[in-house]
Amino acid sequence: MLFSPQSLGALRLANRVIMAPMTRDRAGLGDMPTDLMVEYYRQRAGAGLIVTEGVQPCPEGKGYWRTPGIHSPGQVEGWRRVAEAVHGAGGLIAMQLMHCGRVVVPANRGFTAEVVAPSAIRCPAQVPGPDGAPADCAEPRALAAEELPAVAEQFAQAARNARAAGIDAVELHCASGYLINQFLNPASNQRTDAYGGSAENRARFPAMVVRALAQAVGADRVGIRISPGNPYNAMDPADPAATFGPFLDALGDLPLAWVHVVDMSLPDLDTLAFVRAHWAGPVIANNMLKADSAEALLQAGRAEAVSFGRAFIANPDLVARMQAGAPLAKPDFSLLYTGEARGYTDYPALDAA
């Protein structure tokens, strides 16, 4: 089933092998996509769908060094070149919208912007600074309730910008301790208003953003990514079902294109079964999959598609290699976030190798 067509919302995929979003830190001046990024994504267009690296929907959303945005005319034009390259190679591409919230090292930005979060609680985790060394995150300002519709509109405008650039769909990053996850999680959301307290209240703003995206570009071109039980960036991993169940329930009436699930292999929760119990639409399964384990998930009906991250780094033609049963090249992990072309666009396809 890996290589059979599959529909995800408005998108008709040639196969069910998805390229997962991966931060690569190669954006250029003004956080615009570069020629290298155009080539990187073009090389991987054999995926049924590419989901881009996290893209900041607004200046306040940037937390990491050299990550791209989708809020300026130059950024939109840069992503248009990426989309045209992927489409020219026969592929489809979705943009992951990632607002870092409190996970911000200000020196990574190259401009001045507020650091905002659900509550004024500094992220205790360190993240890489401009030189790659771990650095402390900034103290955030808590967003006021009356500001939240405007923040949701920033996401909606980013989605409209992505579609104007020719991007086929958007995926809202609701995992890894970033803004949406920060609202969902009690470790970072200690509000006492309608957007804090109970899990249902904590899901209120995330659901607002998803609905704003659906209204902006159509629910059938919107997906979300979740990772129940993931402690990354100081999230409380306890009781993920209670945290994410109300969020999925709040989206039940929206015909979203997919829910992308990072399965943490939790000892006390079958994550994919949990998602199926709260979500009737298509599921993309992710995390440490191989071709055989991915095929087994599809055969069992536990997911409609599967995503691979690191395998796509060193294997731009991953789908072709899987179809041929060929061995996979291994990535140079020292070049994940640095090196320009090295470790980025210089991995050869199988026939060239």
Determine the 3-state secondary structure of 2 from DSSP. coil
Determine the 3-state secondary structure of 4 from DSSP. coil
Q: What are the sequence ranges of the domains in the chain?
A: 6-335
The stretches in the chain having pLDDT less than 50 are none
CA distance 257 to 141: 33
First to last CA, the chain: 27
Confidence at residue 202, expressed as pLDDT on a 0 to 100 scale: 98
The CATH T-level fold of domain 6-335 is TIM Barrel (3.20.20)
Confidence at residue 248, expressed as pLDDT on a 0 to 100 scale: 98
Provide CB contacts within 8 A for 56, sequence distance 6+.
31, 62, 67, 68, 69, 70, 71, 98, 99, 100
Longest dimension (CA), the chain: 59
Question: Is 178 a catalytic site residue?
Answer: yes
The torsion angles phi and psi of 223, rounded to 5 degrees, stand at -125, 170
Q: CA angle at residue 60 from 164 to 152, to 5 degrees?
A: 60
3-state SS record for 50-85:
EEEEEEECCHHHCCCCCCCECCCHHHHHHHHHHHHH
Comparing C-alpha atoms, which of 13, 16, 11 is closest to residue 303?
16
Provide CB contacts within 8 A for 146, sequence distance 6+.
none
Which is catalytic among the residues 41, 178, 337, 347? Answer: 178
Q: Is the pTM of this model over 0.95?
A: yes
Hunting for tokens 């943009």 — which residue is that? Answer: 95
Confidence at residue 351, expressed as pLDDT on a 0 to 100 scale: 80
